[in-house]
Amino acid sequence: MNYTLSNGVSIPRIGFGTWQTPDDQTAVDAVKTAFACGYRHIDAAAVYANEKSVGRGIAVGLSELGLKREDIFVTSKVWNTERGYERTLAAFDKTLSDLGLEYLDLYLIHWPAVKKQFPDSWEDLNASTWRALEKLLAEGKVRSIGVSNFYEHHLQSLFARCKVKPMVNQIEYHPGFRQQSVVDFCRSEGILIEAWSPLGRGSVLTNPVMVDIAARLKVSVAQLCVAWCLQNRTLPLPKSVTPSRIAANIQVDFEIPQAQMQAIDNLPECGSSGLNADEIDF
């Protein structure tokens, strides 16, 4: 099943994350396994430093399963050091080469430039980076464009300077860290929320409420997290290199009853990365 982005592009509603996956056969095998398990959406990024191996995994996976390029959806992101119009275009070319692809389905600004680091130029820096993404979109080198880790004020600033609004905002989102104001704002603007770290950190997976609900539904807590994201109309990006977990994370054809959804929604904050976009110094 898929979501439809604001520009009409169809995007598989569960993606396979590649963060912290080594740039070696581990990444190749993980991507191949993901395809074999039914994933058709790969989430990559230049800063993950593994796009060459992810690209090999894509190529081998497509070949072994007899899939065509248009059967899959591939995302990457421009890193903070490459912000700005010309640098972003160059970074995109490198990512495309590393992945061994002729186009991307989605390209994101990985983190916003913020006032703490760029007190007088953060808005212009985000705008110039975004103009590069708009150019790539217009040229057909990407099918859709978006941002990652943007708060409402970052988006509002971008709206005042852009021709095309972001189609996606990829943020940290899981039962222990919901960022509801960002979610609500994006939803009102037609921007799909993608959930990075949808399983949270260890404290989400061991939370007694989550453990109890998962046991009642006869699923794993990780599967419960993925299903919760889906029922909240977001797009989870679970990551694993373990074949059994890769398979389990996409096997979420069950519904969480409303009472249990409410119990999860009422969890106190837990298991978050602690990263604040306005305070980043990287």
pLDDT tens, position by position, 20-49: 999 999 999 999 999 999 999 999 999 999
Q: If you average pLDDT over every residue of the chain, what do you get?
A: 97
Q: Determine whether 19 is exposed, middle or buried from the number of CB atoms within 10 Å of its CB (0-12, 13-18, 19+).
A: middle
Q: What is the pLDDT of residue 113?
A: 98
Question: Residue 59 is part of which domain span?
Answer: 2-197
What's the domain count of the chain?
1
Q: How far apart are CA 263 and CA 139, in angstroms?
A: 46
Q: What is the pLDDT of residue 253?
A: 93
pLDDT surpassing 90 at residue 1: no
Is 252 inside any structural domain? no
By percentage, how much of the chain surpasses pLDDT 70? 100
pLDDT surpassing 90 at residue 59: yes
Q: What is the pLDDT of residue 126?
A: 98
By percentage, how much of the chain surpasses pLDDT 90? 99
Q: Is the pTM of this model over 0.85?
A: yes
pLDDT surpassing 90 at residue 185: yes
Is 243 inside any structural domain? no
Interval 151-173 mean pLDDT: 98
User: Which pLDDT band, with edges at 50, 70 and 90, does 202 fall under?
Assistant: confident
Q: What is the pLDDT of residue 154?
A: 98
Is 233 inside any structural domain? no
pLDDT surpassing 90 at residue 128: yes
Q: What is the pLDDT of residue 209?
A: 97
Q: What is the pLDDT of residue 133?
A: 98
Q: Tokens 């993606």 identify what position?
A: 15
User: Which pLDDT band, with edges at 50, 70 and 90, does 12 fall under?
Assistant: very high
Catalytic residues: 48
Structure tokens at 279: 């305070």
How many Cβ atoms sit within 10 Å of the Cβ of residue 189?
A: 15
Query: CB-based contacts of 117: which residues, under 8 Å, 6+ apart?
Result: 280, 281
Is 205 inside any structural domain? no
Is 212 inside any structural domain? no
Is 10 inside any structural domain? yes
Is 217 inside any structural domain? no
pLDDT surpassing 90 at residue 125: yes
pLDDT surpassing 90 at residue 145: yes
Tally the C-alpha atoms within 13 A of residue 56's C-alpha that lie toward its C-beta: 12
| Backbone φ, ψ for residue 75 (5° rounding) | -115, 145
Q: How far apart are CA 112 and CA 152, in angstroms?
A: 11
Q: What is the pLDDT of residue 236?
A: 98
Q: What is the CATH number of the domain that holds 97?
A: 3.20.20.100
Q: How far apart are CA 208 and CA 227, in angstroms?
A: 18
